[in-house]
């Protein structure tokens, strides 16, 4: 035996069937909710075969179709915002992780180079021309800001710091002298 669960008005969402609402009235309301934002009662009447929409106008007012639909749309908007926030947070996490991986990959040659310099010394570097050495230094330096910017973007941080000019009036502070306290 199936038992119908009846919620109290205070526990019920506005778009759910009301205690005093007939099944037919509720089906009309559900159709009304599926119509575009400015859905018309006469469209519901036509769909359900009513010869005149006057009866449904009365029903819609009695059961506050406009208010209930508005609450439904607010509910849908809230769900959409929550989903967007969830997707955004995941994207930020993923971008930050990818930026860190990229930075680690770019740093491998630098680490190998530093290790080799420590173990072998600088004799091989000294054999490079200044032009060749500068080429490697500039190439590494050129890639580093993009990597840092990528991680900052991934973490939702600012990538630029803008200077803000402030007008500060001069303030003269007069401190009490020690002589005045001794008296």
Do 57 and 112 have their domain in common? Answer: no
Give me the residue label for tokens 């007012």: 61
pLDDT in the model for residue 45: 92
Domain assignment present for 169: no
Domain assignment present for 119: yes
Give me the residue label for tokens 């179709």: 65
Could you read off the pLDDT tens digit of each residue along the chain, which spans 183 residues? 445 555 565 678 888 989 889 999 999 999 999 888 666 888 999 999 998 889 999 999 999 999 999 999 899 999 999 999 999 888 888 888 888 888 888 778 777 777 777 776 667 767 777 777 778 777 777 777 777 777 777 777 777 766 555 555 555 555 555 554 444
E-strand ranges in 21-180 read none
Do 56 and 103 have their domain in common? Answer: no
The whole domain housing 142 covers: 89-154
Do 95 and 50 have their domain in common? Answer: no
Locate 147 and state its tokens.
Answer: 């990597």
Do 50 and 101 have their domain in common? Answer: no
Do 147 and 93 have their domain in common? Answer: yes
Domain assignment present for 182: no
Do 93 and 150 have their domain in common? Answer: yes
Do 141 and 107 have their domain in common? Answer: yes
Look at the alpha carbons of 6, 9, 13, 19 in this order and tell me if their dihedral is positive or negative. Answer: positive
Do 96 and 140 have their domain in common? Answer: yes
Q: What is the 3-state secondary structure (H, E, C) of 110-141?
A: HHHHHHHHHHHCCHHHHHCCHHHHHHHHHHHH
Our count of domains for the chain comes to 2
pLDDT in the model for residue 182: 47
Question: pTM of the full predicted structure?
Answer: 0.52
Do 97 and 139 have their domain in common? Answer: yes
């Amino acid at each position: 035996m199936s038992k119908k669960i009846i919620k109290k008005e205070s526990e019920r969402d506005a778009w759910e069937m009301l205690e005093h609402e007939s099944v037919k009235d509720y089906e009309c309301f559900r159709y009304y909710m599926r119509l575009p934002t400015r859905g018309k009662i006469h469209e519901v009447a036509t769909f359900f075969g009513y010869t005149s929409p006057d009866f449904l106008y009365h029903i819609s007012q009695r059961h506050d179709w406009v208010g209930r639909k508005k609450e439904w749309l607010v509910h849908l908007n809230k769900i959409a915002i929550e989903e967007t926030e969830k997707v955004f947070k995941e994207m930020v996490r993923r971008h930050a992780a990818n930026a860190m991986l990229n930075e680690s990959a770019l740093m491998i040659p630098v680490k190998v180079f530093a290790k080799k310099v420590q173990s072998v010394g600088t004799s091989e570097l000294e054999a490079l021309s200044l032009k060749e050495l500068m080429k490697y230094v500039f190439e590494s330096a050129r890639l580093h800001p993009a990597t840092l910017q990528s991680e900052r973007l991934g973490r939702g941080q600012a990538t630029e710091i803008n200077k803000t000019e402030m007008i500060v009036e001069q303030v003269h502070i007069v401190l009490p002298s020690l002589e005045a306290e001794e008296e």
